[in-house]
Structure 1
Amino acid sequence: MNLRGAQAARFFAKPDPGTAGALIYGADAMRVSLRRQELIAALAGPDAEAEMRLTRMSGAEAKSDPASVTDAVKAVGFFPGPRVVLVDGVTELQAQPVLAALSDWAVGDAALVVTAGALKKTSKLRKAFESHPSAVAVGLYDDPMSAEEVAAAIAAEGIDVTPEGRRGIEALAATLDPGDFRQVLTKIALYAGEEEVGPEAVRLMAPATLEAGADEVIAAAADGRAAAIGPLMTRLAGQGVTPVTLVIQATRHFQQLHMAAVSGGVGALRPPVYGARRDAMERQVRDWGARRLEAALALLMETDLTLRSSSRAPAMAVMERALIKLSMMGRG
């Protein structure tokens, strides 16, 4: 089944417990990541990972061990409760283990959550999830958040907001990425406390754009300029950019590079890329190649998992080390 709009939002908030799986795909890695987190929490609960009811793997790991996805879906958990198998960042070339697991799924198996970049209508992954009687496919695009999504986000933060304040929040939702919007909404909730949120609170918490600085450090990693990464990371940390935001944006960039490498170049990307950014991406695709880009995505997924885990390692240092590793891989 193919879900869109409000129907998709309702599914993410309250999925059918008998769902075989869900494919979440789109060019914006931040949107995909947020929906992935929301769906896993709704399917298996907030303690799924601690209770070992969540199995994570990348598309590259699934491809290297084709039986691993089916084995994970069929496995019997030590703790009672619903289980989820997440296969993150799957490409068409890595789809076969996922398709086999979905085909073999039976009632009582773990739910299969799969994420991917932008997929064409002819995609094998899309066709499999759309045609499966118990699975869904959800495409996420760069459209502004709907009024229903904004209202749900406000309710989740427990914010009491005036009509003017709500209009200000809706304006932020129309201009910010979903991840940045949720961070700002959390800041507004903390700032307001028990008080009603008006337009002044929204104005004070609205961020200055930090996108350019994040793009700069990611470009340094993709271009192999390791020496530039440390100073850029120091500046971004001072501006309040989080490591999770950086890893999501880096994943988005390298997913685009990989898509270009396997689908005929940067010109095949949708939405299209123009100007100096296109020239830089074309050079990076030539320098990296599909195989090393797959390794880069695997490294970024490992970093993402570390940042979201209970690890005590300094998060910004973990992210900086990953970017330096990427810069070395690009030169390798």
Structure 2
Amino acid sequence: MTAIKPRDVDALLKRRNGTFKAVLIYGNDAGSVRERSDILARQVVSDLKDPFNFIELSDSDLKEEPGRLVDEAAALSFMGGERVVRVRGAGAPVDSAGKLLVAALDNGSLNPNALTIIEAGGLKKTAPLRKLFEKSKHTAAIACYEDSDLDLKAMIEQMLRDEDLLITDDALMMLTTTLGTDRGISRAEMEKLILYAGPKSLRGADEEPYQIKPEDVAECLADFTQDMAADIAGIVAQGRLADLSAALYRAAEAGTGAMTTLIFLQRHFSRLYAAQSMIASGDPASAAMKKLKPPVFFNEERAFQAQLKKWPLPRLEGALSNLLQAEHDAKTTGAPVQEIIERTALRLSALASRA
């Protein structure tokens, strides 16, 4: 069995295990799934935008050609070296492609020239894809559970330690109660706080490390502009196109940063994804909303449930992928950040309005 135990995940992420030719990463914590997928991919390819050594497929790419995944895993790189094939999405097309891939690895007909990584949401023990990857000696399955308070506290302390920053006990408690359970969004929030406090690279050699206080957390993570960003996330998920442009304009005028808006969009859609995953596992919508951390407030339950009807799991996977791409483009392309994020918000809102 190659279901990676939680205590062994960190070791796998720190050092490449050549035994595994394909890895399934799944779970309700979409941020953790993305983060671990990126770490494994970069063990093989340093630049995930390299068209010769990195390719990303969706379930729609595999619907008509399930054998394409085996072909891509076997394909040689034009530039030499090992490649990465990443699949985002779950469902029958990915199940079929995964079955062909694992069968080819097990019977020896495939000598892969690529590491294959499949990202999926929450999967039951009986899910075909999970059973396949847990059974084969050539593949591994990694479950991504939502961060507990202890996980979140450990991540916060490690990120601050890496930057030689200090934090008071009150500020640490405030952070652990403010941040959510999505690893990716929590990291993005912490990066913002670190930039506010002053990362190691921007401090002089003799400068004393800054100690983060509760007021710093409040200033960075809980101001009025964030409330506006949260409102925008709800408007997008509801598909209220007529209101979105005005809301984006008001937020910009109030000084809400485009990246703040993106963080709240990622957080909101991750909560929808987590709720839909619980519903798919058999929970009623009302129970799923109460299990979220923090739970959906009573006066927001009706709106949130209406959004769930507009956003089934496959559509949410696409939305989270679009938001991740927007974050990457905003940080790397040099294009106007506000334009990138507003365009993504409008695209998702239009999709919801047609649902």
1:226 Cα deviation from its structure 2 partner: 0.9
SS at match of 2:221: coil
Work out the CA distance in 1 between the residues paired with 2:152 and 2:231: 30
2:306 counterpart of 1:294:
no
1:225 Cα deviation from its structure 2 partner: 0.8
SS at match of 1:84: strand
Q: What's the CA shift string for 1:285-311, capped at 9, x where partnerless?
A: 44x374xx6356435524533541454
Work out the CA distance in 2 between the residues paired with 1:3 and 1:268: 29
Q: 1:203 to 1:49 in 2, by over 3 A?
A: same
Please list every run of 5 or more consecutive structure 1 residues that lacks an aligned counterpart in the other structure.
none
Which segment is superposed worse, 273-282 or 201-210? Answer: 201-210
- What is aligned with 1:138? 143
Please list every run of 5 or more consecutive structure 2 residues that lacks an aligned counterpart in the other structure.
180-185
Work out the CA distance in 2 between the residues paired with 1:161 and 1:255: 33
- What is aligned with 2:343? 321
Work out the CA distance in 1 between the residues paired with 2:160 and 2:191: 9
Preserved contact between residue 187 and residue 205 of structure 1 (Cα < 8 Å): no
Which TM-score applies when normalising by structure 2? 0.74
Q: Please list, as runs of the form range in 1=range in 2, the aligned pairs for 1:62-101 lying within 5 A after superposition.
A: 62-63=62-63, 65-91=65-91, 94-101=94-101
Preserved contact between residue 173 and residue 181 of structure 1 (Cα < 8 Å): no
2:302 counterpart of 1:279:
yes
Work out the CA distance in 2 between the residues paired with 1:253 and 1:52: 35
- What is aligned with 2:183? none
Q: What's the CA shift string for 1:31-82, capped at 9, x where partnerless?
A: 33223222322x2243243363111123343335423322222221112233
Q: What's the CA shift string for 1:1-24, capped at 9, x where partnerless?
A: 333444212322323144323222
Q: What's the CA shift string for 1:165-190, capped at 9, x where partnerless?
A: 38678546634223322332344343
1:278 Cα deviation from its structure 2 partner: 3.6
SS at match of 1:97: helix
Query: Root-mean-square deviation (CA), in Å?
Result: 3.6
Preserved contact between residue 229 and residue 320 of structure 1 (Cα < 8 Å): no
Q: 1:323 to 1:152 in 2, by over 3 A?
A: same
Work out the CA distance in 2 between the residues paired with 1:269 and 1:68: 36
Work out the CA distance in 2 between the residues paired with 1:167 and 1:80: 51
- What is aligned with 1:160? 164
Preserved contact between residue 30 and residue 178 of structure 1 (Cα < 8 Å): no
SS at match of 2:24: strand
Paired residue total: 324
Q: Please list, as runs of the form range in 1=range in 2, the aligned pairs for 1:114-263 lying within 5 A after superposition.
A: 114-134=118-138, 135-144=140-149, 145=151, 149-150=155-156, 152-154=158-160, 158-161=162-165, 165=167, 171=173, 174-175=176-177, 176=179, 177-190=186-199, 193-194=203-204, 195-200=207-212, 204=216, 207-209=220-222, 212-234=227-249, 238-240=255-257, 242=259, 244-246=262-264, 248-249=266-267, 251-253=269-271, 255-256=273-274, 259=277
Preserved contact between residue 77 and residue 83 of structure 2 (Cα < 8 Å): yes
Preserved contact between residue 53 and residue 82 of structure 1 (Cα < 8 Å): yes
Q: 1:304 to 1:200 in 2, by over 3 A?
A: closer
SS at match of 1:95: helix
Which TM-score applies when normalising by structure 1? 0.78
Work out the CA distance in 2 between the residues paired with 1:13 and 1:52: 25
- What is aligned with 2:324? 304
Work out the CA distance in 2 between the residues paired with 1:80 and 1:213: 48
Q: 1:324 to 1:161 in 2, by over 3 A?
A: closer
Q: Please list, as runs of the form range in 1=range in 2, the aligned pairs for 1:14-25 lying within 5 A after superposition.
A: 14-25=15-26
User: Structure 1 residue runs of 4+, over 6 Å off?
Assistant: none
Work out the CA distance in 2 between the residues paired with 1:277 and 1:15: 44
Preserved contact between residue 223 and residue 284 of structure 1 (Cα < 8 Å): yes
Preserved contact between residue 218 and residue 250 of structure 1 (Cα < 8 Å): yes
Q: 1:296 to 1:51 in 2, by over 3 A?
A: closer
Work out the CA distance in 2 between the residues paired with 1:324 and 1:35: 29
SS at match of 1:115: strand
